[in-house]
């Protein structure tokens, strides 16, 4: 019983502790307005989305890409199922490039960790859990599965592309968004700022360790970005000329 009560206690703390902390103001509407104003102010605009999933679920960029015909987008999604939905969603739009791959240090293949098929019914968002970090997927399983075993997590081989190849073939990018389920920090450190750096970066900090959050913040600030916490999950980094500084959130 001891182990079970420790599990119940941990789940209780996980639910109660966020309520005790000072709430973070949700600036998502302001960020959406900021992106729309920035897109409308330019004749051309390009977006890179790392971790696009099916192109719709929890996706703030879907309506922006759909609304503005001068926006060019490159959407990366390594999982076969979600990628098939993403590909079908934009199949009539040549300005939207869909790539079934993950951003990594080099082109090739890598194991992506997911909730195993035999345990998906135990997790309400199992199909949306996929990461290069096995520990992240294990932690997600433990939130909903009592005493998860090793077979809760499976791995699939997915193709990868490095930053240089991606930019050479499809860049440069005005906006880069990263949703990599706990691997966002490593992905952010793959971005090469030496040539045509993106003006705007939106990444998920929620699943990063305090150490990695600090590393990301220092790297971006050293490259001239201004950072702002959008909500409890995301951080916005902007590097814009003074002439458009008033567009900042």
Domain of residue 178, residue span: 25-247
- Is position 99 within any domain? yes
174 pLDDT above the threshold of 80? yes
In a domain, 112, yes or no: yes
What is the reported pLDDT for 246?
45
Calpha distance 221→227 (Å, rounded): 8
User: Residues 178-205: what's their mean pLDDT?
Assistant: 93
pTM for this model (two decimals): 0.84
**Per-residue pLDDT, 248:** 55
Distance (Å, whole) CA 39 – CA 67:
10
pLDDT at 242: 45
User: What CA–CA distance (Å, rounded) separates 39 from 168?
Assistant: 23
pLDDT level of residue 243 (50, 70, 90 thresholds): very low
Distance of CA 148 to the CA centre of its chain: 26
Residue 53: half-sphere exposure toward Cβ, Cα within 13 Å: 19
pLDDT surpassing 80 at residue 14: no
Residue 31 lies in a domain: yes
Q: Is there a domain that residue 165 lies in?
A: yes
Q: Are 64 and 31 in contact (CB under 8 A)?
A: no
- Could you give the 3-state DSSP secondary structure of residue 78? coil
Whole-number pLDDT of residue 147: 74
Task: State the DSSP code for 69.
Answer: T
Residues 6+ apart with CB under 8 A from 125: none
Quote the percentage of the chain above a pLDDT of 90. 63
Instruction: Determine the Cα–Cα distance for residues 230 and 83; give it in Å rounded to an integer.
Output: 27
Give the strand pairing for 96-99 and 71-76. Answer: parallel
The total domain count for the chain is 1
Any idea which of 64-68, 114-118, 122-126, 235-239 has the lowest mean pLDDT?
122-126
Q: Say how far apart CA 123 and CA 144 lie, in whole Å.
A: 6
d(CA 64, CA 67): 5
User: Is 51 a domain residue?
Assistant: yes
Q: What's the pLDDT tens digit per position in 181-192?
A: 889 999 999 999
Q: What are phi and psi of 114, to 5 degrees?
A: -140, 170
Q: What is the pLDDT of residue 19?
A: 56
pLDDT on residue 181? 86
* Domain contains 1: no
Taking alpha carbons only, the member of 175, 170, 177 closest to residue 42 is 175
Is the pLDDT confidence value at 22 over 70? no
Confidence of residue 241 (pLDDT cuts 50, 70, 90): low
Query: For 84-126, what is each residue's pLDDT tens digit?
Result: 999 999 999 999 999 999 999 999 999 999 988 888 887 777 7
What is the reported pLDDT for 2?
A: 53
pLDDT bracket for residue 142 (50, 70, 90): confident
- Average of per-residue pLDDT across 122-151: 82
Residue 6 forms part of a structural domain: no
The most distant pair of C-alpha atoms in the chain lies apart, rounded to whole Å, by 64
Banded pLDDT at 60 (limits 50, 70, 90): confident
Model pLDDT, residue 120: 80
Report yes or no on 2 lying in a domain. no
Query: In the predicted model, what is the mean pLDDT of the chain?
Result: 87
Predicted local confidence at residue 1, as pLDDT: 47
Quick check: 11 and 39 in contact, CB under 8 A?
Answer: no
- Taking the C-alpha atoms of 33, 41, 94 and 28 in order, what is their torsion angle to the nearest 10 degrees? -10
Tell me the average pLDDT across 32-38: 94
Q: What is the CATH number of the domain that holds 101?
A: 3.40.50.150
């Amino acid at each position: 019983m001891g182990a079970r009560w420790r599990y119940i206690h941990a789940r209780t703390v996980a639910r109660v502790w966020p309520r005790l902390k000072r709430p973070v103001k949700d600036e998502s509407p302001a960020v959406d307005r900021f992106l729309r104003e920035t897109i409308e102010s330019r004749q051309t605009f390009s977006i890179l989305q790392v971790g696009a999933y099916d192109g719709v679920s929890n996706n703030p960029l879907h309506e922006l890409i759909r609304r503005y015909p001068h926006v060019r987008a490159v959407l990366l999604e390594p999982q076969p199922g979600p990628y098939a939905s993403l590909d079908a969603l934009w199949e009539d739009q040549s300005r939207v490039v869909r790539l079934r791959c993950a951003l990594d240090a080099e082109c090739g293949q890598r194991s992506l960790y997911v909730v195993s098929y035999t345990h998906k019914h135990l997790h309400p968002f199992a199909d949306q859990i996929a990461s290069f970090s096995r520990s992240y997927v294990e932690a997600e399983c433990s939130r909903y599965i009592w005493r998860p075993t090793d077979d809760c997590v499976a791995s699939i081989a997915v193709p990868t592309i490095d930053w240089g190849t991606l930019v050479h073939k499809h860049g440069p990018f005005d906006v880069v968004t990263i949703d990599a389920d706990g691997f966002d920090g490593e992905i952010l450190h793959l971005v090469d700022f030496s040539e045509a750096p993106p003006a705007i970066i939106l990444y998920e900090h929620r699943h990063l360790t305090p150490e990695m959050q600090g590393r990301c913040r220092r790297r971006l600030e050293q490259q001239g970005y201004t950072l702002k916490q959008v909500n409890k999950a995301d951080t916005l980094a902007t590097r814009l000329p003074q002439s458009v500084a008033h567009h900042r959130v």
